[in-house]
Amino acid sequence: MKLRRPWDELAGCMWLARFFDKARLHLAGKLGPDFEPFFGHKLATDGTFFAHFELSLEEVLPAVAAANDDDDAFAAWFAQRPASSPARIAAWNEIAYNLGKPGHLMERSYAFAKRRYYKTEDPRLDGVFAGIAWDEGYLDEMPRR
C-alpha cells in the first residue's frame, strides 16, 4: 500500500488520510522500518496532529481497526469527535501545511530530521510536508501556498 500524501484530505482534514494508511499498516504489522519508530510519536507529525485534535493512539487504533479499511467509516468516527469541528479542522489544515517551517510548530523536530535524513540543501524543503514529498519522490507535485 502506498501512503497518501500529507496534504491529501479525509473528512476535509490534511494528514488524516495518511495517518489512516499508516495505522492500517501498523495494525497489520506491515508499516515499514522508516515509519514505525515515529508512528504516533509525540514529537512527530502524528503527535502534533493528536495534540491538536485531543486524540491518543490508544483511542485511534481501535477506530482504525473498526473502520475495516473504509475511509468513510473512519472519517465519520473522526468527524463526530468534539474536537473535530469544521473550524478546528480548518485551523489544523493551516497549521499542518506550515509544520516545521521557521516560527511554526515542529520547527526544531524538522530541523533535526532535515540534518539527519535529508542529505540535500534543496531550498524547497522548507517544512515537514515538503520533506515527506521530497523523500517519497513527488516534491514537484506539492501544491504551494
Per-residue pLDDT tens digits for 29-84: 999 998 999 999 999 999 999 999 999 999 999 999 999 999 999 999 999 999 99
Per-residue model confidence (pLDDT) at position 115: 87
Q: What is the pTM of this model?
A: 0.94
Per-residue pLDDT tens digits for 75-130: 999 999 999 999 999 999 999 999 999 999 999 999 998 888 887 888 899 999 99
Per-residue model confidence (pLDDT) at position 30: 97
Report how far residue 38's alpha carbon sits from residue 17's, in angstroms, rounded to the nearest whole number.
Answer: 17
Per-residue model confidence (pLDDT) at position 117: 84
Per-residue model confidence (pLDDT) at position 120: 80
Per-residue pLDDT tens digits for 134-144: 999 999 999 88
For 69-74, the CB contacts below 8 A with 24+ separation are 69/24, 71/10, 71/17, 71/20, 74/10, 74/16, 74/20
Per-residue model confidence (pLDDT) at position 54: 98
Neighbours of 137 (CB within 10 A): 8
